[in-house]
Amino acid sequence: MALALDRRPLGKTGIEVSAMGIGSSPFRHGAAADWAGLLAEAYDCGITYYDTARSYVNGEAVIAHLPPRVRDGLTIATKTGARGGPHCLRDLQTSLRAMGRDHIDLWMTHMVETMREYELCTELGGFCDVAVAARTAGLVRATGASFHAPTEVILRAIEERAFDVVMFPFNVLGRETVFGAPISDYRDRLLPAARANGVGVVVMKVLAGGEMKHGAPRLGFLADPATGQDTLSGAIRYALMQPGIATAVLGMASRTELRRNLAAGIGVGPDPGACQRLEARVAAASPGECTRCAACLGVCPEGIEIPKVFRLLDQDRFFGMTGIARFKYARMQPDASACARCGKCAEVCPEDFDIARLLQLAHARLTQATRPAGSRQTEEENTHG
C-alpha cells in the first residue's frame, strides 16, 4: 500500500483533513486562474485543506477556476477581518460569490491579536454570533479564528470553546510572532487545552514565516540525507509529527515546492519522541541570552524593539540565517545603534546580561546590507510558511 499524507479529525467538527494544508499567500502574484492548476495538483496528491482569506489577493477567486471535483472535495477555510456586525455577513456573502460555492467549510475571523479583539468576537452580535447563525443556516460547517496573540488570549478562546477551530504560528525554530508568547508555550499549554476541549488546531508559520527558505545552514541536523530530506523538509516534518495538530498550512508557489513538501510529509504521523529530540537539538544550538519575554518592550526611550534585535542576532549567529536577519535588521527604525546605555531595559529584564553590549554586537553583525537569495517574497514574507 502506497504511503500518503496522514488524515486527521479537525477537532469535533466532523471534518477530516490532510495533515498538510496549502495556503494561498503566494497566489497574490498574477491572475487567479494561473494558480488553479497548482491547487488542483495539490488536491490530487492528497492535500485536502486549503487556507485563504477575504484579504488575500486571488485566494478565494481561484476556487471558481477549479474543476468541480476539486472545488467540492477541498476543505476550504477562509477568513473575515471583521469582529462582528454587518461587515461580517457582507464578507461571508462576498466570499461565497467569489468561490462559486454554496457553503464554506471553515469560516474564521482573521488575525486576532489582543484580548479586546477576542472579546469583540464573543459579544452580542460579534463574529461568534454571526458564525453560529451561518452554521445553522448551512452556509458554514465550522467556525474559527486565526491568532497572532499572547498565549492567554488563545487559551481563553480554547477554554471558552468560542470557536470550533483555532489557528496560530508553530515552528521548530521557536520563531514567535508575539514577544512574550513563545512557541513552546503554544506547544505546552495550547495543544493540551485544545485536545481537552475538542477544539481543532491548524498551524501556520511552519518555516518561520518563510524565513527558513533563505537558508539555515546551522540547522543541518533537521535534514535526513539518507531519505533526501533537507532542512526545510525537517522543519515541515516537525510540525506534522506534533501531537494535537490537525493540519499544518504551507504556502506553495510552485510545483517544485509542492513536491518537496509532499516528500517531507507523506507517511508522517504524530511522534512526540521525535519532536522532543528535535526541540532539544534546537535549544542546544541556540543558547541566547535573551528569552524574548517582552518585559523590555516599550521601555527603551529611544524606541528600540530590543527583543526583535536579539531574535535577528540569534538567527544570524546560531542558525546561520544571516541574509534574512541582515535584510530585516536594515528595515528596523530605530536600530540598535540608537542605544544610549541608559539602563532602563536592564531594570526590567529578568535575565542577567549586558543588554547594551549585546545590542552593540548585534548592530556590528547585522549592518552589512545583504539581500536574501532567491525570493520575490522577501518584502512581504509568505504568510503561511
Cβ partners under 8 Å of residue 32, min gap 6:
58, 61, 62, 64, 65
Q: What is the pLDDT of residue 288?
A: 95
pLDDT tens-digit readout, 73-121:
999 999 999 999 999 999 999 999 999 999 999 999 999 999 999 999 9
3-state secondary structure of 119: helix
* Model pLDDT for residues 301-350, shown as the tens digit of each residue: 999 999 999 999 999 999 999 999 999 999 999 999 999 999 999 999 99
The whole-chain average pLDDT of the chain stands at 94
Q: Is the pLDDT of residue 16 over 50?
A: yes
Q: Distance between CA 4 and CA 46 in Å, rounded?
A: 7
CA–CA dist 237, 244 (Å, integer) = 14
pLDDT tier for residue 1 given thresholds of 50, 70 and 90: very low
Report d(CA 203, CA 247) in Å as an integer. Answer: 7
Joined together, the cell numbers standing for residue 268 give: 508522517
How many whole angstroms separate alpha carbon 10 and alpha carbon 369?
44
- Any idea what DSSP says for residue 29? S
In angstroms, the CA 358 to CA 366 distance is 12
Stretch 239-264: mean pLDDT: 97
Q: Which helix (H) or strand (E) holds 318?
A: helix 306-319
Within the chain, strands assigned E span 7-9, 16-18, 20-23, 49-51, 75-80, 104-112, 140-147, 165-169, 200-204, 247-251
16-18 and 7-9: which strand pairing?
antiparallel
Percent of the chain exceeding pLDDT 90 equals 93
Res 370: pLDDT: 53
Alpha-carbon distance of 263 to 278, in angstroms, equals 19
Q: pLDDT per residue over 169-180, tens digit each?
A: 999 999 999 999
User: What is the pLDDT averaged over residues 255-261?
Assistant: 96
Q: Which amino acid belongs to residue 384?
A: H
Note the pLDDT of residue 384: 66
